[in-house]
Structure 1
Amino acid sequence: MTSARAGAAEACPSGAVADQTPAAETEKAAQRLAQLCDKPVEVLSAADEFTKVTALPSGTFTFESSIEPERVERSGQWLDVDTNLEPGADGRLHPRAAADVTFSRGGDGPFVVLRGGGADFSLSWSGTLPPGEVSEDRVTYKNVYPDVDLVARALPGGFSHVLVVRTAEAASLPASRAGG
């Protein structure tokens, strides 16, 4: 390291030295911090679920963009998307860090609720759902019809749901083709 770089590293704020990827609110502040600390610094004012802008020590910037959410904001911090489901305080299943979607644990009421843009979208089943079995990002409601399971899955930007038909006899049921 040159003596100029050594002086710059010493001027780097201790919090930024410790951070894996430090962040600053503006491009100007991020660029200054990147040069002081000799490491990339995220530009928070340019951040969203799909976009990440990073100031580099060289004085340039990188721009990363995705068509699907890569991260979510929680309590002022950006977290990588994690669609694994866990129980929430409201008794429903929530992804750890993904779209604002919840799943039923079984019973009556909507099996999925998606919130966004000031509105709620929900899907319900025509009968009472059996208890859901959770595995990573999905919940399976077994035998919603004989030999037919309903599987709902958390996705970075929402959810999916499918009927899993396990026998030819179950496939011949009209309800298996139409859904709940």
Structure 2
Amino acid sequence: MPLCPNQLHHGRDEEIPNWNIFRTEPIEEASGSAVEHPIYKASIKILKVVVHLLSFGIVLTGCVVAKGTTLFMTAQLKPGKTLIYCDRNIGLGRSWRVEIPEVERVAWVWCLFLAFVVPELGTFIRSARICFFKSWRWPALLEVLTVGLLEGLHTVGLAVLMFVALPELDSVRALMLTNCVCLVPAVLGEGRAARGGHWLRSVHG
């Protein structure tokens, strides 16, 4: 079989295309309107910076809204919680306190429960789609026990944190506690990334 690009294939009427050549040929330099002008390259760089800043702003806003909403919901779960009520029609010199009823507290418990269930439901649907439409293998018993134990401890820890610990704290202390909780996973994630993803490749085979 001819290996040079100027040789013919299957007779003299058909020439070997560049993508079907055995050896690697240098890329031809663009000319005319296909040449990338400096203005084009600069606009691409500016667009990348804008996209990075926009993505950072969207992610940061989403994280702030999610954490603020979570702390607001957990603050309503404390039994017998009272709030200062001010009514100008009654008088400025008086202060009243109202207690959150048990029915409203139960409603906030369900809201917090749904906030955790909906993402897990999405993960379940994604996993089910992979099992139905892609190839997979049965995990070993040790893998099932390890994942089940870790996920069980993770779920119990989240339940204790959200339904027991955070309702007893004020917003500032709860915010600092949640910031400390994410420190250990972040350090472990950086360590895994520093290893070049070998752990992920070993898990996924």
Structure (1/2) with the larger strand percentage:
1
Task: Report the TM-score, using the length of structure 1 for normalisation.
Answer: 0.19
- Structure number with greater CO (CA < 8 Å, separation at least 6) is 2
Structure (1/2) with the larger helix percentage:
2
